[in-house]
């Protein structure tokens, strides 16, 4: 049984957070504090609400328009275990998984040496959008991203080996 998941909110049908229509889970808690962040209410690690994971999976399964789920923040990789549980359920439905992170892929691999669930979550992702939001590199024309340093990394699990 995975640990609890704390979220700041859910957007059940988004078209801006990854490919196609997506069910977006905004996690609560972020250590990065990027200047200019659009979701400062997600920063505290206390607060938010406890997610009902079975209800979330049910809701995703009942919406045929969804291509997949997106984990956004907050920092999803601060709660990798419960997100792995959701990601496994979503993949079993034939849908895909996108995750945003304020960590770079390289930092996540490093973090994964202490927390294997971080690596498992990376392996479950079809798309990772990595790196902090850097206001000086802000670019509104980028797909899914806010600043030019952020990368679209498809199938990040293959980078781990």
x/- site string to ligand SF4, residues 71 to 110, per CB under 6 A? --xxx--------------------------x--------
Residue nearest to ligand SF4 (CB): 102
Instruction: State the nearest-atom distance from the C-beta of 147 to ligand SF4, in Å.
Output: 9
Binding flag, residue 7, ligand SF4 (CB under 6 A) = no
Phi-psi region of 94 (alpha: psi -120 to 50; beta: other; left: phi over 0): left
Among 30, 78, 86, 127, binds ligand SF4 (CB under 6 A): 30
Instruction: State the nearest-atom distance from the C-beta of 5 to ligand SF4, in Å.
Output: 16
Q: How far is CA 13 from the centre of its chain?
A: 15
Binding flag, residue 150, ligand SF4 (CB under 6 A) = no
Angstrom distances, CA of residue 66 to CA of 38, 78, 137, 143: 25, 25, 31, 19
Q: Name 127's bridge partners.
A: 98, 154
Q: 154 CB contacts (<8 Å, ≥6 apart)?
A: 126, 127
Tell me how many residues contact ligand SF4 (CB under 6 A).
13
Binding flag, residue 147, ligand SF4 (CB under 6 A) = no
145 CB-contact burial (10 Å; exposed 0-12 / middle 13-18 / buried 19+): buried
Binding footprint of ligand SF4 on the chain (CB under 6 A): 30, 32-34, 37, 39, 42, 73-75, 102, 132-133
């Amino acid at each position: 049984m995975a640990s609890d998941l704390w979220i700041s909110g859910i957007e059940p049908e988004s078209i801006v957070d990854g490919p196609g229509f997506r069910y977006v889970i905004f996690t609560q808690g972020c250590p990065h504090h990027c200047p200019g962040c659009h979701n400062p209410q997600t920063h505290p690690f206390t607060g938010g609400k406890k997610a009902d994971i079975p209800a979330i999976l049910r809701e995703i399964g009942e919406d045929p328009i969804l291509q997949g789920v997106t984990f956004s923040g907050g920092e999803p990789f601060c709660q990798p275990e419960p997100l792995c549980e959701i990601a496994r359920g979503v993949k079993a439905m034939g849908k895909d998984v996108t995750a945003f992170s304020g960590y770079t892929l390289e930092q996540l691999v490093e973090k994964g040496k202490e927390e294997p669930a971080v690596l498992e979550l990376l392996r479950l992702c079809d798309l990772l959008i990595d790196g902090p939001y850097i206001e000086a590199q802000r670019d509104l024309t980028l797909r899914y991203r806010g600043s030019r340093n952020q990368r679209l990394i498809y199938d990040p699990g293959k980078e781990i080996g």
